[in-house]
Amino acid sequence: MNHEIRREYPDYTMTSGPCTVSPSVLQALSNPAVYHYDPVFMEKFKDTCEKLKKVLFTENDVFVIQGDAVLALEASANSCIKPGDKCLNLASGYYGKGYVDYINAFGGIPIEIEVPYDSAVTVDLVEKAIEENPDIKILSMVHSETPSCTVNPVKEICQLAQKHGIITIVDSVSGVGSCEVKVDEFGIDICIVGSQKCLGAAPGLSIVSVSDAAWEKMRDKNPRRWSVLCMLDWKEMWFEKGNFPFTASVNLMYGLDQAVDEVLDEGMEHLWSRHDLCARMAREGLKAMGFELWAVSEDICATCSTAFKLPEGVDQLKFRYHLRDRYGVMISAGLQAHADKLLRLGHMGYTARPEFVMAALAAIGKSFADFGIEADLSAGLVSAAAIME
């Protein structure tokens, strides 16, 4: 097969993020690039952060860091973890496992709960770890593990941690927007969201909410100031003085503001429902075509994207490029050791719509047929469509 890329851009970017954004978000990105202390941008930044409080269901401080969400995840560790702090880290996938490196880097003592990457961490395991280590200071977890398309019970775990006075750092980069996340009700101290996932904005921004308890933990740690890894700079400069620690990403904020407006106009409950519908369509369609879902059970399947096992003998890179080149659909592979074990169909933000899912399923089925893999495309499309009834 010829794997030369002949399309400048795919028709449908349905990866696990970034995904296709709405035309209005694209238009917002093209607004004039102004000085970040220009009154029009200062007001826009403040207003966007206030609207994000509604998205997150929180009264906590919310701000936006100019950088990928990985930056905010590392910044939360740098800002909170004192040398010698016991930190309970939950690892059900690559991002959860990776956070232990931050704990070690900033002098924390990691206590880790690790489960297979097709599974979820249970509340019982967390409760047992806390009982055995009553001096745990911080709990870090991934809510929605995009590499494996699974979710952990963030509400129950964070509420448990809150009862024990443990500061929680939650990576909900792909969770917020795709399913119910209510920061204050759940008891999340630091919640980190990616602009490029289910809120439907462009990549490059990290949305962060911080509780009063987390700010106090940062003051106790007193991290080195004037650093992109210091969240306390945001508290003391932006919230208390109205100054940015660094140059804000002006045009990306325009796009995020537009995306947030669209989300709030739609309503969070409807947004969650739309993601859930598309996830169920994807799962039923793939199963009916004859493919096996990656997650050990559907009750822990994410609603932002769906992972399924790659048929034996298929080269994932050749398959995905063929899917993109011939049918115009771009999807994701697994990560690292799982790169050749699973494929991921994203349905997040603007692409969390039935018509996108149906088009992607049709293209996936046709592509596997091109590779000589039997897939019951008709059954897949009928099963997916039935979910809409």
pLDDT in tens, 172-182: 999 999 999 99
Within a domain: residue 5?
no
Cβ burial of 299 (10 Å; 0-12, 13-18, 19+) is exposed
Residue 180 shares a structural domain with residue 222: yes
Mean pLDDT of 166-170: 99
Residues 154 and 201 in one domain: yes
Picking from 231, 265, 299, the residue at the C-terminal end of a domain is 265
- Domain boundary (216, 242, 265) is at 265
Give the tens place of pLDDT for each residue, 222-247.
999 999 999 999 999 999 999 999 99
Q: What is the mean pLDDT of residues 55-66?
A: 98
The distance in angstroms from the start CA to the end CA of the chain is 39
Domain, as residue range, for 42: 23-265
298: left (phi over 0), alpha (psi -120 to 50) or beta: alpha
For residue 103, pLDDT beyond 50: yes
Long-range contact pairs involving 48-53 (C-beta distance under 8 Å, separation at least 24): 48/253, 48/256, 48/257, 48/260, 51/257, 51/260, 51/261, 51/264, 52/207, 52/209, 52/260, 53/209
Read off the CATH number of the domain in which 163 is found: 3.40.640.10
- Tell me the per-residue pLDDT of 11-20, one tens digit each, with 9 for 90 and over: 999 999 999 9
Helices and strands in the chain, H and E counts: 15, 14
- Taking 50 as the threshold, does the pLDDT of residue 1 lie above it? no
- Amino acid type, 266: E
> Is this structure's pTM higher than 0.75?
yes
Q: Are 260 and 356 in a shared domain?
A: no
Pair 183, 204: CB distance under 8 Å: no
End position of a domain, from candidates 265, 288, 320: 265
The pLDDT, as a whole number, for residue 5 is 63
- 2-6, 121-125, 166-170 — which is least confidently predicted? 2-6
One domain for residues 253 and 286: no
